[in-house]
Chains A and B, each alone.
Chain A
Amino acid sequence: MDIAAVPARSAGFFFALAPRGRAVFFALAAIAACLLFAFPVFWLILTSLRPGTGVYYVHRGTEFTIDNFHEVLSQEIVLRALFNSFMISTLATVLSLGVTATSGYMLSRFKGPIPNAWFSLIYIFRCVPYVAWVLPLYFVTQQLNIFDSYWGLLLPHIAVHICFFSWIMKGFFDGIDPSMEYAAMIDGCSRWGAFWRVAMPAAVPGLTALAILCWLYTWNEFLFALILTAHETPILTVVMAQFVHELGMEWHLMSATAVIALVPALIVTLFGQRYVIRGLRI
């Protein structure tokens, strides 16, 4: 849609510019957006390439090294954290989507007191701040004997996603015409069959988009990982943040780990962005 090609009638700063000027203005805006959003990441990468003695004046030195990456990757805890974070993010994505697809479908297809009660419940509990939640959660996971294990982190993560994802999933299923499911049921399909064979395949673009967002969110999550894990299950965000604390500011090691953590996220985003944009068309 090339609206800009139509001659503008109303005045305005942007439209008062000549076509050439407009293109320049547009290019400048694009470059400014790139700089604004890329600069802290660029700075992170630059810091990760500086030797430990040079990080205090990142903007002055000229020495560069990749020793930081060697040093970080030779630490066993970082490797274990990488593996754990990957497993937790992937499992949390699969399980959250499985649990919320049915819940969103229910909210979309049925009316009445049960869906209303369910919606109010997830809405109200979404508003409670994490601070009121995380500490008692620590005791609950201890009671259930799943503290510092995969399940102890996975299940609370699923609980986080239930509200938002159910809401979005409801939107996806609202956009799918239910008459196909009725037709399938008249032809002898059970309710579960209609859900699984007719509605779910139609929701795949939306599910893909949510899967990518969910994976990125869990990969980068910090507060739950900090409180619900200890030595048994190190998580990458916690390990990297621990390089910088009151006793030692190892900026170069933190940045190197953060850059390593950025790589999988980058791959997921670069390949996934078109599916996200296609899938989120609610």
Chain B
Amino acid sequence: MNEKTRFMLALITPAALVLILFQVVPILTGANASFRDWTLHDPKRTWVGFANYLHVLRDAEFRDIVLPNTFGFMIATVACSLLLGLAIALMLNKRFPGRWLVQSFVLLPLMVAPVIAAIMIRWMFNDQFGVVNAALEGLGVAPISWLTQRWTTFAVILLTDVWLWTPWFALILLAGLQSLPPEPFEAARIDAASAWRTFRYITLPMLRPVMVVCIVIRAIDAFRTFDIVWTISGGGPARATELFSLYAYVEAFQFLNLARGSAAAVIGAIIIIVFALLLYRVLNRFVEVSR
């Protein structure tokens, strides 16, 4: 081992130790459980191969509700917060009086604990005491029982997630916008390009590398969302808004089948690893073509 290799290994040793002990070992322990029979009448935990995986993949609940929910949620939340965040970043990139105040207001969701935000929003959409229904009543619209129907519940969850994550997009995209070199914009001005064409042909292509990283990281995190869904709906009504993290949790802790829950979690992890890799490749190729 030469001196360079030793240096490389020394640089990652602390991170690798923490990662192996507190992430790799627990996850492999869980994955081991997914190959065993975890039901109560089998204390020996017999090795059953892929039986738990097959069970999850054959489960109509998983195939027809959980997977579409998860992908729908991921695409919707990433798209909405990206567009909204981009609009806000473009707005904050201009100079106007009160800009600092607007920026501080927009960053508020970053300061609130997501679980508190979720509790608060659930409360605001409460059908009897919530402020949203009170406002609707004031406008003369019949109150809606938000959290008892699939699509309205889904909308509330989506709204919460977009509310929580748009500032994150806005912050990173604003940093990206401010780091762009001024020369192309000056050239566009001299050529009297319209604001839209400047945006479409200069700002957007130059911002794309930052956007790709944002989208991939956020898509992975959205895919494994757990706490806000758990707080707002608990997966209900009647498991209709379950995402796959909730499915794994419900299988493991409510139906007390840790093996099946672990199998579901591993399946989800494999799906998102492949999906994120493809997404990264496709978006990156898109960036290169656009140059």
Contact = CB atoms under 8 A, between A and B. Distances in A.
B120 A129 contact: no
B113 A43 contact: no
Contacts of B69: none
Given A58-B131, A240-B116, A128 B19 contact: no
Contact of A166 (B15, B25, B131, B134): B15
A98 B194 contact: no
Contacts of B244: 129
A30 B175 contact: no
B105 A33 contact: yes
Interface in B3-37: 3-5, 7-12, 14-16, 18-19, 21-27, 29-31
Most chain B C-beta atoms within 10 Å of own C-beta, residue among A3, A122, A133 = A3
Contact of A241 (B11, B119, B123): B119
A159 B22 contact: yes
Given A124-B273, A132-B30, A133-B23, A162 B131 contact: no
10 contacts: A6-B194, A102-B12, A132-B27, A156-B23, A162-B15, A220-B113, A223-B227, A265-B111, A269-B110, A279-B175
A147 interface: no
Interface string A206-230: 0001000000100111110000000
Most chain B C-beta atoms within 10 Å of own C-beta, residue among A33, A240, A282 = A33
B283 interface: no
CB-based closest 8 A-B pairs = A132-B265, A281-B179, A136-B26, A280-B175, A265-B111, A129-B224, A220-B113, A106-B11
B18 A43 contact: no
Interface of B: 3-5, 7-12, 14-16, 18-19, 21-27, 29-31, 87-88, 91, 94-96, 98, 101-117, 119-121, 123-124, 129, 131, 134, 163, 166-167, 171-172, 174-176, 178-179, 182, 185, 188-189, 192-198, 210, 213, 217, 220, 223-224, 226-227, 244-245, 248-249, 252, 258, 261-262, 265-266, 268-269, 272-273, 276
B110 A130 contact: no
Given A40-B163, A129-B226, A140 B26 contact: yes
A132 B263 CA distance: 9
Q: How large is the interface on A (under 10, 10 to 19, 20 to 34, 35 or more residues)?
A: 35 or more
Most chain B C-beta atoms within 10 Å of own C-beta, residue among A34, A115, A167, A255 = A34
B176 A282 contact: yes
A158 B18 contact: yes
Contacts of A195: 11
Contacts, number: 273
A56 B129 contact: yes
B119 A262 contact: no
B105 to A, nearest CB: 4
A223 to B, nearest CB: 6
Given A44-B120, A110-B8, A129-B268, A276 B192 contact: no
A182 interface: no
Nearest to A217: B110
A199 to B, nearest CB: 11
A164 interface: yes
Contacts of A6: 189, 192-195
Given A103-B12, A270-B104, A277-B171, A131 B265 contact: yes
Given A277-B174, A282-B176, A102 B15 contact: yes
B15 A130 contact: no
Interface stretch (A9-17, A62-70, A76-84): A9-17
B29 A136 contact: yes
